[in-house]
A and B are shown apart, each in its own frame.
Chain A
Amino acid sequence: MQIFVCIKQVPDSGQIRVHPVTNTIMRQGVPTIINPYDLFGLEQALRLRDRFGGEVTVMTMGPPMAVDSLRKALTFGADRGVLLTDRVFAGSDTLATSYALSYLIRKAGETWGAPDIVFCGKQTIDGDTAQVGPGIARRLGLSQLTYVSGIDDMDLTDRQILVRRRGDHGVQVLRSRLPVMVTMMEGSNEIRRGTQADALRAARAEIVQWNAATVGISDTSLCGLRGSPTVVKKVFAPTARDEKAEMISTEGISPSGMAEALVDQIFSRQPGLRDDLFRQAAGH
């Protein structure tokens, strides 16, 4: 079985600073991490491989330094990493990103075998659009299973997969034909700690590096900034609200005492509320 996992290297949002004067994001020196949502897909991929055999290939489109993320993914136990990197991809929006990734996936499929499942994260923590996964699925004609919280079963001879999906009003159980594109929900699993052998292999692995031409992209007008219709209209930092949160001390106070303090606090702020509530209660 071939499983591909798309990962994106993102700035660690916990460590981003906003320039005190210009209000722009200061990216310099901010450590990068694998988009946390992508790790749920990676772990699910590793579990399927452990059960059904095959290989897990992690891939990303990004600058040369994105090899660090791929190597890290190998430390968790993935079998190989592929980086698609080329100046023409700079400034890609979701449309251009999914265009490039679909070529990457196609080329990887020709090289190591067509994927049975392509995993993506639910969304990224920097772009947050959740559009890239579906964009890939559409371009490659994969069935699309988003917000999956668990994979119940898979049958490689019948080429079917049974998943649970978080819907608006509950959990959907869906059966689909392979190949599929799956985005995993957060919390559906926890990324494993790779073994010593995984760590040693990852430290020495050659990361495959391809460019636009290697994956067969000839029309670069659909790539990068040129292929990105999204325009940023304005960047701003929301102004801080004047009103400060009030804290209620919890030290040495029982839960009911805390609740009372909270209710008192609310009623003192909203004098009419108490009467409204009493009136409503009386009316029922």
Chain B
Amino acid sequence: MTHEHFDAIVVGAGPSGNAAAYTMAQRGLKVLQIERGEYAGSKNVQGAILYSDALERIIPDFREEAPLERHVIEQRIWMMDDSGHTGMHHRSDDYNEQKPNRYTIIRAQFDKWFNRCVREIGVTVLCETTVTGLIADEHRRIIGVQTDRDGDGIFADVVVLAEGVNGLIGQRSGLRKELRPEDVALAVKEMHFLPQDVIDARFNLRGEEGVVIEAMGTVTDGMIGTAFLYTNRESISVGVGCLVSEFAKSGEATPHGILDRFKAHPSVRALLEGAEIKEYAAHLIPEGGYRAVPDLVGDGWIVVGDAGHFVNAVHREGSNLAMTTGRIAGETIANVLGSCLACTRDNLQAYVTQLQETFVMKDMKKYKNVPRMLEHGGHNIMDIYPRLLNRSAQTWFRVDGRDKKSKESEILRSARQARGLTGLLGDAFRLARAWR
């Protein structure tokens, strides 16, 4: 029996794998995609923000068919202490535009839709099939994959590793190192169902408008992490995430413990009141930044999306980096094979070169020092400053017979007490440097 041969095999049907598979099939390649979940999206964490731009470059008219929940017209950023929050709200009617820039989506539905587009453009998709290993030839060139179903290997010119954050296949084949606990966050997320009109009223929304809340502060117990809340059409996604190393250090804190605390917080409680929890999911997020990016290409293989550690944790962007890396990898492979060349490390290097020119690598580089800064000053940012900010706000806004000037000095004094002048300056310096 002759083995079946494909131009490319894509491992995984998340945003990065779908983008890669779609791009290659669109350019006429014979593509096989393998997903271990029952369907694309079945393994993916529910509720997320979709950034239109990255998808538009792959499927320009996605808005006509994709399952979108609400477009985001308001962003709230909160610094929380135990009894409240201080923050910034940004809302604009300009976001009610013809082609909105950000949407809330439900990943299980969205990924399924994206994967249907992938099938329709001609990719052969195997679900409920796990890739168990890569097949290499005598020159250590990757030439195919092994799956957990009975049968021989399946072969291809190139394997696209879009397997997500764990990167087990790449790791097992010695293409990359194991993840470090400091480089990944563990996130938990729940969906809370509420009727649409209740959500509209609670968040001051009309029609398809949506809100995103991102919060940090004492809810994470000083651990480096954030909490979030997004409005979907008839549900609210809430979640928290903290670095795995922080949980290990704490020993006591659990992800769902922190999530429970966030949900019970006075600023959040009323927003969720009366909702019915349906889904609960936990997932890892690669947050090690630029320095944690593994080798991206080799002979017969290329890495995209979370597997390549492409997440901008500061801006909570992941799926757009996944789609962009998937698309550019797909274009690179199509170019290489289209020029009748082999998918060698050297020829695939064009992918990395091109990524350098996009926001993906530029942003990854911009924030490359953030993980280190957090490792050293994280506790202050997550705990001391939120408390300080909220206390200062109270001092400022309470009308109690004291003059404003003394209030100003009290605020300054408490800041100095909390961190010391050198500490304050140091934090400001580190923050500025990490941001640069």
Q: How far is the CA of A198 from the CA of B154 in the complex (A)?
A: 13
Known: A19-B195, A20-B195, A29-B109. A195 touches B149 (CB 8 A): yes
- Within 173-224 of B, Cβ neighbours of A (below 8 Å) are at 193-195
A196 touches B193 (CB 8 A): no
A195 touches B126 (CB 8 A): no
- Chain B contacts of A17 at CB under 8 A? 193, 276, 278
Is B124 interfacial (CB-CB < 8 Å)? yes
Is A140 interfacial (CB-CB < 8 Å)? no
B108, B193, B278: most-surrounded residue (chain A CB, <10 A)? B193
B151 touches A195 (CB 8 A): yes
Of all chain A residues, the one with the shortest Cβ separation from B234 is A26
- Chain B contacts of A31 at CB under 8 A? 39, 42, 108
- Chain B contacts of A21 at CB under 8 A? 195
Q: How far is the CA of A150 from the CA of B143 in the complex (A)?
A: 45
- Chain B contacts of A44 at CB under 8 A? none
Is A109 interfacial (CB-CB < 8 Å)? no
Is B52 interfacial (CB-CB < 8 Å)? no
Is A262 interfacial (CB-CB < 8 Å)? no
A17, A19, A29, A198: most-surrounded residue (chain B CB, <10 A)? A29
Known: A17-B278, A19-B195. A200 touches B150 (CB 8 A): no
Known: A17-B276, A29-B106. A200 touches B4 (CB 8 A): yes
- Within 315-366 of B, Cβ neighbours of A (below 8 Å) are at none
Is A171 interfacial (CB-CB < 8 Å)? no
- Chain A contacts of B154 at CB under 8 A? 196, 200
Chain A 153-175: CB-based contact to B (< 8 A → 1; otherwise 0): 00000000000000000000000
- Within 95-151 of B, Cβ neighbours of A (below 8 Å) are at 106, 108-109, 124-126, 128-129, 147, 149-151
A200 touches B193 (CB 8 A): no
Q: How far is the CA of A229 from the CA of B333 in the complex (A)?
A: 59
- Chain A contacts of B39 at CB under 8 A? 31
Known: A20-B195, A197-B151. A203 touches B125 (CB 8 A): yes
- Within 12-30 of A, Cβ neighbours of B (below 8 Å) are at 17, 19-21, 26, 29
- Chain A contacts of B194 at CB under 8 A? 20
Nearest Cβ in chain B — how far from A134, in angstroms?
32
Chain A 196-219: CB-based contact to B (< 8 A → 1; otherwise 0): 111110011000000000000000
- Within 26-67 of A, Cβ neighbours of B (below 8 Å) are at 26, 29, 31
Is A11 interfacial (CB-CB < 8 Å)? no
Of all chain A residues, the one with the shortest Cβ separation from B106 is A29
Q: How far is the CA of A260 from the CA of B109 in the complex (A)?
A: 50
Q: How far is the CA of A198 from the CA of B151 in the complex (A)?
A: 10
Of all chain A residues, the one with the shortest Cβ separation from B147 is A196
B129, B194, B278: most-surrounded residue (chain A CB, <10 A)? B129
Is A149 interfacial (CB-CB < 8 Å)? no
B193 touches A199 (CB 8 A): no
Q: Interface size class for chain A?
A: 10 to 19
Nearest Cβ in chain B — how far from A178, in angstroms?
32
Q: How far is the CA of A19 from the CA of B234 in the complex (A)?
A: 10
A203 touches B278 (CB 8 A): no
Number of A-B contacts (CB under 8 A): 47
B128 touches A75 (CB 8 A): yes
Nearest Cβ in chain B — how far from A33, in angstroms?
9
B124 touches A195 (CB 8 A): no
Q: How far is the CA of A104 from the CA of B357 in the complex (A)?
A: 57
- Chain B contacts of A19 at CB under 8 A? 195
Nearest Cβ in chain A — how far from B371, in angstroms?
36
Known: A20-B193, A20-B195, A204-B124. A196 touches B106 (CB 8 A): no
Nearest Cβ in chain A — how far from B24, in angstroms?
16
Q: How far is the CA of A196 from the CA of B124 in the complex (A)?
A: 13
Q: How far is the CA of A198 from the CA of B4 in the complex (A)?
A: 14
B150 touches A203 (CB 8 A): no
A199's contact among B67, B126, B234, by CB below 8 Å, is which? B126
Nearest Cβ in chain B — how far from A251, in angstroms?
21
A203's contact among B124, B147, B195, B234, by CB below 8 Å, is which? B124
- Chain B contacts of A200 at CB under 8 A? 4, 124, 126, 154
Nearest Cβ in chain B — how far from A126, in angstroms?
19
Nearest Cβ in chain A — how far from B65, in angstroms?
14
- Chain B contacts of A203 at CB under 8 A? 124-126
- Chain B contacts of A194 at CB under 8 A? 149
- Within 79-119 of A, Cβ neighbours of B (below 8 Å) are at none
Of all chain B residues, the one with the shortest Cβ separation from A199 is B126
Nearest Cβ in chain A — how far from B177, in angstroms?
30
A199 touches B149 (CB 8 A): yes
- Within 21-73 of B, Cβ neighbours of A (below 8 Å) are at 39, 42, 67
Is A244 interfacial (CB-CB < 8 Å)? no
- Chain A contacts of B67 at CB under 8 A? 29
A193's contact among B149, B195, B274, by CB below 8 Å, is which? B149
Nearest Cβ in chain A — how far from B271, in angstroms?
16
Nearest Cβ in chain B — how far from A192, in angstroms?
10
B109 touches A196 (CB 8 A): no
Nearest Cβ in chain B — how far from A203, in angstroms?
5
- Chain B contacts of A20 at CB under 8 A? 193-195, 274, 276
Nearest Cβ in chain B — how far from A46, in angstroms?
14
- Chain B contacts of A198 at CB under 8 A? 149
- Chain A contacts of B151 at CB under 8 A? 195-197
A196 touches B276 (CB 8 A): no
Q: How far is the CA of A203 from the CA of B195 in the complex (A)?
A: 38
- Chain A contacts of B109 at CB under 8 A? 29
Q: How far is the CA of A203 from the CA of B125 in the complex (A)?
A: 6
Nearest Cβ in chain B — how far from A197, in angstroms?
6
- Chain B contacts of A193 at CB under 8 A? 149-150
Of all chain B residues, the one with the shortest Cβ separation from A195 is B150
Q: How far is the CA of A199 from the CA of B4 in the complex (A)?
A: 13
Nearest Cβ in chain B — how far from A84, in angstroms?
22
9 additional A-B residue pairs with CB within 8 Å, beyond A20-B195, A29-B106, A195-B149: A17-B193, A20-B193, A20-B194, A26-B234, A31-B39, A196-B126, A198-B149, A199-B129, A204-B124
Binding site for B on A (CB under 8 A): 17, 19-21, 26, 29, 31, 75, 193-200, 203-204
Can you sample 6 A-B contacts with CB below 8 Å?
A17-B276, A20-B195, A21-B195, A29-B67, A193-B150, A200-B124
Pick the 4 closest A-B CB pairs, nearest first.
Answer: A196-B151, A196-B149, A195-B150, A199-B126
